[in-house]
Amino acid sequence: MNSNIETVRESIRVVWNGGQLDRVDDFYTEKFQAHYPPTGASWGEGREGLRNFVQLVRTGFPDYTENIEDIHAIDDRVFVRMRNTGTNTGPFPISPTPTNKSIEIADFLHIRMENGKIAEQWGLFDNFTMLLQLGLLQPSQVA
């Protein structure tokens, strides 16, 4: 198994699914960068920005889980397709009042590794479906 794939798998298991923010340094470079379309919730800079964002997600969705469905590596790049789940039982930027509704969302990552750690990632998270599932956007508003 590719060591970059193992690092990414373990980072998802420990940091994102397990909420172990004290382990971020084990998997991410000091100057880690995340590139996502604007969604209203900013990641901030470096490892600290990542910690803050994971905490934000896990506050809004305490049972948040990223389920890897497909993962591949080429040289210093890792590509991941995931299905993320969780229940909105806490405050979250798009919904300060919990909806108590569950989500199941597609998430895609393109990761650049550096010296065995995640240095940069580009992602596409299905925010549209999340808004529909949380009841914050109605299908009739989309047409």
Does residue 42 surpass a pLDDT of 80?
no
pTM of the model: 0.92
54 vs 95, residue with greater confidence: 54
76-115 exposure pattern, b = at least 16 Cβ within 10 A, e = fewer: eebebebebebbbbeebebbeeebeeebebebebebbbee
Which domain, by its residues, includes 41? 3-141
CATH number of domain containing 58: 3.10.450.50
Q: What is the pLDDT of residue 1?
A: 61
Three-state secondary structure of 43-74: CCCHHHHHHHHHHHHHHHCCCCEEEEEEEEEE
Per-residue pLDDT at 60: 96
Q: Which two tokens stand for residue 85?
A: 């789940």
